[in-house]
Structure 1
Amino acid sequence: MEIKSQCLSERALISMRAFIKKLAFLSFLFWCVSISGNSQQVPSYNYTTVDGLPNNAIRSLFVDSRGIVWIGTENGLSKFENGRFKNFFETDGLAFNSCWAIAEDKNGNLWFGSYGGGVSVFDGKKFRVFTQKDGLADNRIRHFYPYEDKMLIGTEDGVSVADLQTFQITSIPSTIRGNDLNYTAGFFEYENKIFYSTYRSGSFELRLKGGSYEAVKVNDWLPIYSFFTKENQLFLSDKGSIQQLSIDQFLKGEKPTQSFGQSIVWGHLNGVNQEDYLIAASLFSKDGGVFLLDKGQMKDVGEWLGVDSKFILAGAVNQKRKMLYLGSQDKGLYQIRLDDVITYNSFEEREVKGIAGDGDILAILSQDGLQIQKKEGSFAEVYSKDFKKVQSEFYQKFPHKIPKHLDGFFELDPAIPAEEIEYYELHKEGESWWVNTNVGIFEMSLEGRIRTYLPVHAYSIGFTPDGLLLETNPYAGVRIYSNPGNFEYTYFEPELSNTPLQIAKVVKGDQRTYLASVFHGLYHWDGQSFFSYKNEGLWKESKFKTMHSLGNGILLLGTEFGDLYQVQVHPKFEILKKWPKEDLLGSSILFIEEYKGVIFIGTELGLHILEEGELRFWSEEKGVFNRIFKTAKRIEDKLYVGLDEGYYIINLPELIAKEYPPIELVITDLKINGKAIDQENFRWFAYQNSRLNLGAEENSLSIRFQPKANLSNGRLRYHYRIKPGAEWTEFSEDALIELPYLPAGSYQLEVQVQDLFSGKITSNQLLRFDIARPYYLQWWFFLLMAVLLSGIFFVIYKVRLNQIRSESSLKQRIVEIKLEALQSQMNPHFIFNAINSIQYYILKKETKQALSYLGKFSKLIRSTLDQSSQALITLEDEINYLRQYIEVENIRMDNRVKWSIEGDALERKQDLKIPPMIIQPLVENVFNHAFSVDHPNPELLVQYEILSKNQILCTVKDNGEGIKAKKGSSHQSKGMEMIREKLSLLPGYTEQSVEFVSSKKGTEVRVIIFCG
């Protein structure tokens, strides 16, 4: 009993809180309904097969923990998210196309019950099907109920219990009766016990503890189509009514004693303010629909919610988004806003021309006249015929008071019939309504009685700060009426430079009245005179369409081309801020209103909200702003927006107080090179991997994404970049990113989503991915190519080196052959000269000298034979050879020649190698040609000097007569020719390798010889 008392006290507290919320909601609802006899409703939208539903007959609805709406129809299951449908059928793994029940278990799996095919369990990736073969009592599913670690399954005949871990299904035999009157009507819990009811077999307690399950009957009451509990009360749906009794009474077997309502109620929904919605559909009559349960009564709210179907079988509420979903048997799905932000009054589909009033009274001007609504519920109508009657009577009774067009009045046609009266504006000034039309200006009492008529045609009127009527003529100036009833006024002619012309809007301020012109800029009236801001040089802007006063000398003005200005006009003029038309969606500013510092701007595309520098945009969406704005007026904390058909009422505190969490994006579709990736990478329709590794050929991506939460408040725009620090793309409303032919590298796809409704921008790191380099840019390919090229280069090098070596060997051999040939030519020449010398001694009969000469000659011949077969000899051998030769030749000259061999090369004579017998012909020429017989002191100098590492200079110098001085100077020794030829075969030879300098004082021959 203590536990029960405590539960009751907690329930009482919860009930009190719920009652307060409910009372506030119902007060708002019934006030809205009571102020007008016209059709009034919250924003709603009806989705059908035209919008993507698989079937218009909806049997079940469910909002899961992810905010996704699931719709079970008689032919297919549908997922509804972000305004889009995705349908599932048997071909997608569903057990059966009909779906009569939906639930979610504690593990987040979804259970879909078909009528004839069993159960389908969806884990976010795939469906698993369970039928009677798996233990179900019946394949026709009516209800699910998550209970502890089980899922209770109510079928057409019996109850089954599914284990959430093993998915093992066990049916309770005592619940199966083998007839169609035993279908499960639902489950409920009370005092830690679980109960269920059937259509015509009674109600039972389910005992699920222990190894076996059983059902124990607690009440025989029938029929029960459905039921719901509220606090400690049980409401049973009967045919045509609801039976009510306490749960304790019911469990004792007692029968209901209270009855109310109509139709057959199939479900109960808790609204966002704890209000109770009942959904109903009769079998044979049209008395169903959606109802509000209040004080034991079912109030039909179908018109208020915009639901015209009388056969509602399913419903669900998204508490977070404050959205109600209703499924009909004949007209598809209804989506209804329950956030108290906006309501719609059809106003008999009349076009609203003007709105005025205060917290106690409201006046709506339409093409049919003026309707006055009081808060307590009464209303009055002033029709066009009433205005026409007053106008006609005035023209009949007071023809002398009719103003003339020539007097500066805008032309008025008194013959216009009532149905052609054009209404321009509605004003509330003091205790009067003022309406300006094309047949005149009318003043009425707050109850709607016409007090004053002015036969003046004016598009725009207004009032001075002291309450005087101000009438504008587009082309002929302004009149301020001190006594409209007597037609007394002050006229300001158009010829005056500051007289306002072509006025579009008149606004009364605290100390001034402001006038905005379509062509001539801004004016004001200060009680004494008019002032033109353009003509006085303060502000050149000249084209305005609308204006609003914020007080304290601050105005908001909308230009003809869509710019918005905030200006300080008193005490000193200053442009405080400008919003260019690019900042506002829409080309025209239709109205401007303000509430507690928040500015509301209406354009043809929706409502802009400016708050503390933040710009929000409430755009046209399903059920909201799908009509044309005509006028607007803030009255206390509500903004009334007149439309081409009816008007909206916007609850400004609710709108301003709405919270806007950051928007998280998920990838719903990913294609690589045009091919969708494996669905195993997705769960709950979102891509699960945060990083993607792609091959070099996989360089074109197509990425579709969407908000994770189920959003539909307004427009979302996106832009992205693929690397940090890169430029952002332009904003787009398309949630698709195409990335074709990306180069190799690492990428980080970042998407910013701009929620125009909240004015906030949220960044999302959507995907990281790497595209591998092509194989020809991989490090291993560079290494392989380096090795391959090195190998090719090495092979080419070796082949070429061998070729060069072969060519060099061949050339060397040719040189050697030529040298040998030359040497073979030089040896006979030398022998020829030596024999001549021996012959000379013999002829002179100098036998001793001939023998001595012959001995030296034989040594010389031996040295010549040794050197003639060698390509190179040491410088020492060459000098020794020359010494032997000079001695032989000098004997022939009677040893008169003084000779010497010297030079710095002699220090390295054993290291340096030169070709043999190069200098010998030059020495031979000296002995043969340089000295005459009577030369007094012949001298010969052979000098070796090192020029470089591979070159030595050999100088042969004598003090003879010189080559040119000798007779027959044209003679050139054959030996000299052989020297040149031999030197030309050696490296480094040029024409300057052998030089002759000859004079009367002697001859000098310089020879540059290659040395090794």
Structure 2
Amino acid sequence: MLSKYPLFFVFLFLVFGKSPAQQLPSRQFTTADGLPNNAIRSLLLDSRGILWIGTENGISKLENGLFQNFYESDGLAFNSCWAISEDKNQHLWFGSYGGGVTFFDGKEFRKIQETDSLADNRIRHFYPYQDFMLVGTEDGISLIDTETLKVTTIASSINNTDLNYTTGFWEESGKLYYSTYRSGSYEIFWENEIPKTRKINDWLPIYAIFQQGDSLLLSDKGSLKAISKEDFLEGKKPEISFGQSIFWDQVPGISGENYLLAAGLFSKDGGIFELNEAGLLDQTARFGVDSKFIQAGALDKERGLLFLGSLDKGLYQVRIDQTVIYEDFGGKEVRGITGKEELLALLHTGGLEIRNTKTGKITETLAPEFKKVQESYFSQFPQKIPKHLDGFFELDPTIPAQEMEFYELHLQQDGFWINTNLGIYHLSLEGKIKTYLPVHCFSMGFTPDGKLIETNPYAGVRIYDNPEEFSFTYFHPDEANTPLQISKVAHSSSKTFLASVFHGFYHWDGQQFTAYRKAGIWDEEKFKTLHVMENGNLLVGTEFGELYRIEVEPAFKELKKWDKDELQGTSILALESYGESIIAVTEKGIHLLQGDKNSFRDEEQGFFQKVFLSAKRIGDDLYLGSTKGFYRISLPDFVKSQTQSIRLGITEFKVNHIPLNPDDFEWFIFQPKKLQLEADQNTLYIRFKPTGPIESGKLRYKYRLKSDAEWTEFFNEPVMELPYLPWGIYQLEVEVWDYHSGDMSRVNLLEFEIKKPFYLKAWFIALLFLGMAGLFTMIYRIRSSQFKAKTSMNQRLTEIKLEALRSQMNPHFTFNAINSIQYYILKNDTNQALNYLGMFSALIRITLDQSSKTQISLAEELDYLRKYIEVENMRMDHRVDWQIEGNAIDKAEEIFISPMLIQPLVENVFVHAFPGDYPSPKLRIRYDLGEKNSLICTVEDNGIGISNTPKPNHESKGTRLIREKLMLLPGNTEDSLMVETGNWGTKVRMRIYL
């Protein structure tokens, strides 16, 4: 800790250091990226990881690379925001210069102004203290209760002058202090619960005040004043002055660094300065910041980011964790990189630069020197110049130094090897050219024992056993296994491997080449990059972006393949490894492959120059050369697991295209709860976002609505449109692929229920059932009534027809009976005529009685038939032997049939069956009970039969009437009346359904 006297000696020798050539990756945000204004007055990284930016024309919220702006129209007291703070309740306070304070609790903005007893509407500083938010204004101090928002202004802090504005608060030994611009510094204390002030020091001016251990740093006009806290509290004046510009803010670094931010009022001497034991070091250029007016800063320690707000050029984001360091290298292309401990060599467009990383010494061998060696060789040894016809790639010795092309840089134990369009050069570790080969070579390499391998795209390969003497072994392209069109050469401890653009993979085992395609080992044919891992495995990248990990000893084996859709970009530019971690460089960025994990790094991790030309791991550092400078990457930190806790929040929610109530959101996030939606509220629009400090640009999403549903395909935009969902309970899950870390995580985003439509609810179904039952009953009754009416009508029609038939049958019988009476009269048999007439009259009475009935008992039918047969047999002198029998006669009283059914059949027997001289006529009538509740009546005679009658094909009227009558009775068909006849007589069988 600095005490009174050591402080003097420390700051007496402080000097401004120069910015080194290396830079930390930085990114600039302006109004073009979404900022409301480029003049930034205040910054705050809140407890949620959200960066709040106060500008001269609005407030902006930066979360995961996206800006959201707020203005007076959104509820701010005033657009110009000069101070931002967060209280212990995690609520935010925005101080405007001219409109007072804006309080934000996550749901709404509330204004606190002079009308609420605020000292002044021009806010300079906030300071959270116990249950209060201290507000330093242009003139005076106010305390605002963080729970009730009650404002208390310290009367003694008001001087009614613009020179009294607050420049800072600080605490020491449990006491609270503040300083002003030109009114001195004060202690705030409470007396009888009333806040008061007392002056402790008259020193002025003070633009800002910072604590540094036991000391205070006072920002003066164009310098910093240093004094111990003890001396300052005793009212003493600072005696140490250093630095330049006006310092406005103090920001810590991730490892305890102390950064001071400066912006001059009338001069461009500000920037970012690091205060350490060595002095006050200007870091503006190293941080990649081109503004000299930096007034606000905020540290995101978790992500290793420092945010800097400028008054003229917007916001800067600097990655200060030093995992990635960039050097613009004078804007030169870095074509090749190699080195070892304490030695770094960079091949660029102008030649070779060799750095001693321990001493800082830099040695350069530039193009003119290379050209000079080439010219000297061609001048001194023209006879040694190889010819194109001899299988050497064409070389143009007239190319000037400024048009030299440097292809590759290799490090061997005795020095560097460089192949160019003017030949191959061998240099010492100090950069002196030792050997020159007049050979044009695009790709070269070395055998495990250090022999140079020179490749010609079309004319084979040479292995040099003595390059200085131009001694080599040539492998002609006509030989089956000679490598052609080689893109990369690398070697292990026992073999040299060659990757071809068109002809597949080769290796040299010290004796011969082996072509993998021709040997049937591996059919892949187009390769671009090659790297040998420490364990002997090979990494091979194809022309079209596929990556293989293979082993070749003891036998070839393909260990793993990454398809092109697993790697960002279309081609693999370079391959390196660090232990088991594989580094694949593409035109989009850098893939880190660790087992099954596939993570990706790009500009979000500081790689803004992504046109990579070279890559080389040297110890624990990875160097990447680009078209503008190079990167140095600390691999222990770079390959460290980057697992992030992914949280998602809904930022926009529409149901049937209508936004939800803003009260359902807090801190711009929909608060999780189970939604109950009506059946017709089934079209949802959901926009969500990752919350907290994560690399949101490297997230992909897919979702499912139920645990047993299928996942959707991955998508980039965090928006879901869910139209016309059926009723049911939904658990909306989102699976997030973070390809920054290579991890997959699952988030339960929302649970909601869409109610059943009313027509599927129990009460409606019950009501519908009752309604349908009532309707059915009503229809049934109506139809039943209609059926009964129709049946009654049909029955009446049937009865009318039956009566009509009976009316036809009765006259027919009467006619026959009168003929019989007439017969007796003509015989002058008076007694017989009278007797017959008596029996006939009785029979007529029965006939008339039964004709009016629809049904009679079988007993009545039998009685009627007996009387009828007696009448008819009397007419035939009782010659007919007749008999009525059958098993139905016993139940004659219980059986009911239609009347006058059998009588016509019996009548036919007496009229047609027995001529006058027919011998022994017989008539048999049977009534038997049949199946299906039927009565079978059989009338059989032994007469002449129908075939012997004058009209054999004629059906008697009586038979026809019976058939018609049977058809009118239910259940009867044409087959209900069957007639059989022959020389033996006639048999009529009738089935009557009861």
| In structure 2, C-alpha distance between the alignment counterparts of 1:973 and 1:50, rounded to whole Å | 115
Kindly provide the CA deviation profile for residues 274-327 of structure 1, in whole angstroms up to 9, marking residues without a partner as x: 100111111111111111011273211011111111101111011111111000
Q: Deviation at 1:342?
A: 0.2
Instruction: Report what 1:17 is aligned to.
Output: none
Instruction: Report what 2:355 is aligned to.
Output: 373
C-alpha contact (below 8 Å) 2:589/2:607 kept by paired residues? no
Instruction: Report what 1:237 is aligned to.
Output: 219
Matched to 1:301, the amino acid is Q
Matched, 1:915 2:898: yes
Say if 1:150 and 1:400 are closer, same or farther in 2 by CA, change over 3 A. Answer: same
Say if 1:831 and 1:457 are closer, same or farther in 2 by CA, change over 3 A. Answer: closer
Matched to 1:653, the amino acid is P
Which of 234-243 and 483-492 deviates more? 483-492
Q: Deviation at 1:560?
A: 2.2
| In structure 1, C-alpha distance between the alignment counterparts of 2:509 and 2:962, rounded to whole Å | 127
Which of 372-381 and 731-740 deviates more? 731-740
Tell me how many residue pairs correspond in the alignment.
981
Q: Deviation at 1:360?
A: 0.7
Matched, 1:121 2:89: no
| In structure 1, C-alpha distance between the alignment counterparts of 2:976 and 2:697, rounded to whole Å | 100
Instruction: Report what 1:45 is aligned to.
Output: 27
SS of residue in 1 equivalent to 2:265 = coil
The partner residue of 2:246 within 251, 264, 270 is 264
| In structure 2, C-alpha distance between the alignment counterparts of 1:856 and 1:825, rounded to whole Å | 22
Matched, 1:450 2:433: yes
Q: Deviation at 1:770?
A: 3.4
SS of residue in 2 equivalent to 1:181 = helix
| In structure 2, C-alpha distance between the alignment counterparts of 1:210 and 1:84, rounded to whole Å | 49
Instruction: Report what 1:421 is aligned to.
Output: 404
| In structure 2, C-alpha distance between the alignment counterparts of 1:841 and 1:473, rounded to whole Å | 150
C-alpha contact (below 8 Å) 2:588/2:610 kept by paired residues? no
Gaps of 5+ in 1: 1-7, 13-29
SS of residue in 2 equivalent to 1:761 = strand
| In structure 2, C-alpha distance between the alignment counterparts of 1:374 and 1:598, rounded to whole Å | 28
Say if 1:963 and 1:150 are closer, same or farther in 2 by CA, change over 3 A. Answer: same
Say if 1:625 and 1:473 are closer, same or farther in 2 by CA, change over 3 A. Answer: same
Say if 1:897 and 1:680 are closer, same or farther in 2 by CA, change over 3 A. Answer: same
C-alpha contact (below 8 Å) 2:259/2:272 kept by paired residues? yes
Matched, 1:301 2:283: yes
Instruction: Report what 2:179 is aligned to.
Output: 197
SS of residue in 1 equivalent to 2:162 = coil
The partner residue of 2:923 within 926, 931, 940 is 940
| In structure 1, C-alpha distance between the alignment counterparts of 2:823 and 2:556, rounded to whole Å | 139
C-alpha contact (below 8 Å) 1:38/1:347 kept by paired residues? no
Say if 1:811 and 1:326 are closer, same or farther in 2 by CA, change over 3 A. Answer: same
Q: Deviation at 1:678?
A: 2.6
The partner residue of 2:793 within 805, 810, 813 is 810
Say if 1:859 and 1:498 are closer, same or farther in 2 by CA, change over 3 A. Answer: closer
Instruction: Report what 2:749 is aligned to.
Output: 766
Kindly provide the CA deviation profile for residues 125-172 of structure 1, in whole angstroms up to 9, marking residues without a partner as x: 211111111121111111111111221111111111111211111111
C-alpha contact (below 8 Å) 1:505/1:517 kept by paired residues? yes
Instruction: Report what 1:548 is aligned to.
Output: 531
Instruction: Report what 2:493 is aligned to.
Output: 510
| In structure 1, C-alpha distance between the alignment counterparts of 2:919 and 2:610, rounded to whole Å | 141
Instruction: Report what 1:74 is aligned to.
Output: 56
Say if 1:659 and 1:553 are closer, same or farther in 2 by CA, change over 3 A. Answer: closer
The partner residue of 1:683 within 660, 666, 669 is 666
| In structure 1, C-alpha distance between the alignment counterparts of 2:852 and 2:561, rounded to whole Å | 110
| In structure 1, C-alpha distance between the alignment counterparts of 2:180 and 2:292, rounded to whole Å | 25
Say if 1:159 and 1:930 are closer, same or farther in 2 by CA, change over 3 A. Answer: same
Query: Map of 1:447-846 to 2, 5 A cutoff?
Result: 447-551=430-534, 553-621=536-604, 623-712=606-695, 715-775=698-758, 782-838=765-821
- TM-score, with normalisation over the residues of structure 2? 0.93
Say if 1:465 and 1:915 are closer, same or farther in 2 by CA, change over 3 A. Answer: closer
Q: Percent identity?
A: 55
Say if 1:352 and 1:219 are closer, same or farther in 2 by CA, change over 3 A. Answer: same
| In structure 2, C-alpha distance between the alignment counterparts of 1:929 and 1:464, rounded to whole Å | 136
Say if 1:717 and 1:979 are closer, same or farther in 2 by CA, change over 3 A. Answer: closer
Say if 1:44 and 1:1002 are closer, same or farther in 2 by CA, change over 3 A. Answer: same
Instruction: Report what 2:152 is aligned to.
Output: 170
Instruction: Report what 1:19 is aligned to.
Output: none
SS of residue in 2 equivalent to 1:624 = coil
Matched to 1:467, the amino acid is G
Matched to 1:394, the amino acid is Y
C-alpha contact (below 8 Å) 1:621/1:713 kept by paired residues? no
Say if 1:102 and 1:939 are closer, same or farther in 2 by CA, change over 3 A. Answer: same
Matched to 2:442, the amino acid is Y
Q: Deviation at 1:873?
A: 1.1
| In structure 2, C-alpha distance between the alignment counterparts of 1:39 and 1:330, rounded to whole Å | 25
- TM-score, with normalisation over the residues of structure 1? 0.91
Instruction: Report what 2:317 is aligned to.
Output: 335
| In structure 2, C-alpha distance between the alignment counterparts of 1:714 and 1:882, rounded to whole Å | 112
Q: Deviation at 1:627?
A: 2.9
Matched to 2:627, the amino acid is D
Q: Deviation at 1:364?
A: 1.0
Q: Deviation at 1:988?
A: 4.0
Matched to 2:624, the amino acid is V
Q: Deviation at 1:972?
A: 7.5
Which of 793-802 and 300-309 deviates more? 793-802
Kindly provide the CA deviation profile for residues 182-238 of structure 1, in whole angstroms up to 9, marking residues without a partner as x: 111121122222221111122222124743211122222221111121332222211
Gaps of 5+ in 2: 4-15
Instruction: Report what 2:168 is aligned to.
Output: 186
Instruction: Report what 1:98 is aligned to.
Output: 80
Kindly provide the CA deviation profile for residues 693-745 of structure 1, in whole angstroms up to 9, marking residues without a partner as x: 33444333332222112323862222223333433333232222233344444
Matched, 1:58 2:40: yes
Say if 1:1006 and 1:462 are closer, same or farther in 2 by CA, change over 3 A. Answer: closer
| In structure 2, C-alpha distance between the alignment counterparts of 1:713 and 1:636, rounded to whole Å | 32
Q: Deviation at 1:366?
A: 0.8
Which of 355-364 and 75-84 deviates more? 355-364
C-alpha contact (below 8 Å) 2:928/2:936 kept by paired residues? yes
Say if 1:812 and 1:296 are closer, same or farther in 2 by CA, change over 3 A. Answer: same
SS of residue in 2 equivalent to 1:900 = strand
Say if 1:1009 and 1:498 are closer, same or farther in 2 by CA, change over 3 A. Answer: closer
SS of residue in 1 equivalent to 2:502 = coil
SS of residue in 2 equivalent to 1:630 = strand
SS of residue in 2 equivalent to 1:806 = helix
Q: Deviation at 1:1002?
A: 4.1
| In structure 1, C-alpha distance between the alignment counterparts of 2:561 and 2:945, rounded to whole Å | 112
The partner residue of 2:71 within 86, 89, 113 is 89
Matched to 2:573, the amino acid is L
Q: Deviation at 1:67?
A: 0.5
| In structure 2, C-alpha distance between the alignment counterparts of 1:240 and 1:664, rounded to whole Å | 46
Matched to 2:350, the amino acid is D
Q: Deviation at 1:851?
A: 5.3
Query: Map of 1:401-416 to 2, 5 A cutoff?
Result: 401-416=384-399
C-alpha contact (below 8 Å) 1:545/1:589 kept by paired residues? yes
Instruction: Report what 1:392 is aligned to.
Output: 375
Matched, 1:1008 2:988: no
Instruction: Report what 2:13 is aligned to.
Output: none
Say if 1:464 and 1:862 are closer, same or farther in 2 by CA, change over 3 A. Answer: closer
Matched, 1:108 2:90: yes
